[in-house]
Structure 1
Amino acid sequence: MILIIRERATPEQISQMAETYFGLMIKLAVDIEREIVVGGAELYADCEQMLLEDGSQQVYVWGADWYLELKQVGFESLINIRPRQENRGMSIEDPVIRERIEIIVRHLLDG
């Protein structure tokens, strides 16, 4: 189930988003400006599209993963390939952006 998370997610919401990957991980799109996430889709692009339809600006939306058992954030996604923003690969290269994503994801999903 794809959900927009604006406040700390409930255990039920986490479980719903994690269904796609058997409870192991959640694919996310993170808006680092609005500090919200969308998770639960098979594709990062679907999460990204939901954020854009909700009013997010593309420049602030990045792809990430939340690994439930490890309680770890992953920073690789096809939507992160952005030469215009000096991010040439799937992994987020800017340590400031990575830190913001880590803070947002932990705040909203690490309950």
Structure 2
Amino acid sequence: MVILIRQPASVEQIAQMSETYYGLMIKLAVDVKREILCGGGELHADCEQALLENGSYNEDIWGADWYPELKRVGFESLINIRPRQGNRSLAIQDPVLRDKIETIVRRLLELG
């Protein structure tokens, strides 16, 4: 289930978003300008599409993963391959951008 998160997520929302990967991981697309995210589904692209439909711009959206049990953010996704934005890898290369994404993810998804 893909869910748009604007405010800190509830326990129920985290559970719904993590169903696809048995509670181990949540695929995310994070809009770094609007500081919101979309989580759940099988692909980062599913989340990216939901953000685009909600008014986000492609250049502001980056793919990440949230590992609820480990409270860890991953930064690899096919949607991150953006040569025109200076990112030629699955992994987000810019440490400042990574920090911003991690801050947004933790604010919205880290329970307690």
Q: Please say whether Structure 1 and Structure 2 have the same fold, judged by a TM-score greater than 0.5.
A: yes
**1:47 alignment counterpart:** 47
**2:5 alignment counterpart:** 5
**2:66 alignment counterpart:** 66
Distance 2:100 2:33 in 1: 9
**1:87 alignment counterpart:** 87
Distance 1:98 1:41 in 2: 22
**2:77 alignment counterpart:** 77
Distance 2:101 2:49 in 1: 18
Pairing 1:109–2:112 present: no
Number of positions where the alignment pairs a residue of Structure 1 with one of Structure 2: 111
Pairing 1:18–2:36 present: no
CA shift for structure 1 position 61: 0.1
CA shift for structure 1 position 68: 1.0
Distance 1:55 1:95 in 2: 26
Query: SS of 1:20's equivalent?
Result: coil
In structure 1, what residue type is equivalent to 2:84? R
Identity across the alignment (%):
67
CA shift for structure 1 position 84: 0.1
Query: SS of 2:19's equivalent?
Result: helix
Distance 2:25 2:75 in 1: 13
Q: TM-score, normalised by structure 1?
A: 0.99
Aligned-residue CA RMSD (Å):
0.4
Please list every run of at least 4 consecutive aligned residues from structure 1 whose deviation after the TM superposition is greater than 4 angstroms: none
CA shift for structure 1 position 69: 1.0
